[in-house]
């Protein structure tokens, strides 16, 4: 690929996002879930949401034509950018050749759900929306601070409090690993092509939960199970989802739990209550444990 002249820059030295897309020689493919952030004001603000984070090695997932990559290189010591589209990966290697030669940028070509993730100090990413949940929950257990772009509806469910309409499995799971804060909503006009929904930037600060669970994988399976039956009482949810939670004797869990708790629905329980119930299920209802 060849370019006509030096990279186009704004007054602050940042590359112009529209010019980056043009030099990439390829438009976004919505069938591949590509929506590129092109609003300079939003792009300039995103690194600031990570200003209290360790930016010695920032991981970016879904770099596309590199508009956010450019902003991250201005504030981070090193950046690793993951991009699954081979054409955009090739564009990134040419566009940021100087940063690569200086060992400040590494381009990883591949799917973020399949490639080996490097050690990183923080992740700042405009995630591909179709895989945003899976990518986020690959990043969260690493215990590093994150600034991630999601669909607004997804972000609101992630940050929801118990008892609210948006509260669910996503809220409890995200809160198990981090404090979740929506720091900015972003309109469709900030993207090219424009998505059909608003977006939101979420800051996730890792922390230990104020409860304990005997096994993280079991806890996640337990949440998945009972929230598939969120309109049922916990009594029925526990009994009906043993195939998901791998409980050999769900009735033993129901019998051992507080009767008033079993009469509630999943959306009414706090994360700490879920943890206590999952611990009871782990100790009393698993195969070989009764």
pLDDT (0 to 100) of residue 34: 79
pLDDT (0 to 100) of residue 239: 96
User: Which residues are known binding-site members for S-adenosyl-L-methionine?
Assistant: 35, 37, 62, 83, 111, 126
- Are the beta carbons of 167 and 182 closer than 8 angstroms? no
Distance CA 161, CA 69 (A): 33
CA 134 to chain centre: 7
pLDDT in tens, 99-111: 999 999 999 999 9
DSSP letter at 290 equals -
Tokens of 95: 């566009």
User: Which residues are known binding-site members?
Assistant: 35, 37, 62, 83, 111, 126
Quote the pTM value.
Answer: 0.90
pLDDT (0 to 100) of residue 33: 74
Domains assigned to the chain: 17-206 (3.40.50.150), 216-284 (1.10.8.100)
User: Average pLDDT, whole number, for the chain?
Assistant: 92
Residues of the chain with pLDDT under 70: 1-12, 287-290
- Please list, in sequence order, all residues whose beta carbon lies within 8 angstroms of the beta carbon of residue 201, skipping any fewer than 6 positions away: 46, 49, 147, 148, 149, 155, 182, 183, 184, 185, 186
pLDDT (0 to 100) of residue 12: 62
pLDDT (0 to 100) of residue 1: 33
Q: Rg (Cα) of the chain, in Å, rounded?
A: 22
Type and span of the H or E element at 45: helix 40-45
């Amino acid at each position: 690929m060849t370019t006509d002249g030096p990279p186009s820059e704004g007054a602050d030295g940042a590359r112009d996002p529209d010019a980056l897309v043009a030099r990439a020689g390829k438009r976004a493919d919505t069938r591949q879930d590509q929506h590129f952030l092109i609003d300079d004001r939003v792009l300039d603000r995103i690194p600031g949401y990570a200003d209290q984070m360790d930016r010695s090695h920032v991981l970016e997932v879904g770099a596309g034509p590199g508009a956010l990559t450019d902003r991250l290189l201005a504030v981070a010591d090193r950046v690793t950018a993951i991009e699954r589209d081979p054409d955009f990966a090739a564009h990134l290697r040419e566009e940021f050749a100087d940063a690569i030669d200086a060992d400040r940028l590494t381009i990883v070509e591949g799917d973020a759900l399949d490639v080996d993730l490097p050690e990183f100090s923080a992740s700042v990413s405009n995630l591909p929306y179709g895989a945003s949940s899976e990518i986020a929950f690959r990043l969260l257990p690493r215990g590093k601070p994150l600034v991630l772009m999601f669909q607004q509806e997804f972000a609101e469910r992630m940050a929801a409090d118990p008892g609210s309409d948006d509260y669910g499995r996503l809220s409890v799971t995200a809160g198990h690993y981090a404090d979740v804060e929506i720091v900015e909503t972003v309109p469709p006009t900030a993207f090219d092509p424009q998505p059909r929904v608003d977006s939101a930037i979420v800051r996730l600060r890792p922390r230990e939960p104020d409860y304990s669970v005997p096994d993280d994988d079991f806890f996640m399976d337990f949440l998945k199970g009972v929230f598939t039956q969120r309109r049922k009482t916990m009594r029925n949810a526990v009994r009906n989802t043993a195939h998901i939670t791998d409980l050999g004797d769900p009735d033993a869990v129901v019998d051992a739990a507080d009767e008033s708790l079993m009469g509630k629905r999943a959306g009414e329980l706090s994360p700490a209550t879920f943890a206590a119930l999952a611990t009871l299920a782990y100790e009393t209802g698993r195969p070989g444990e009764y």
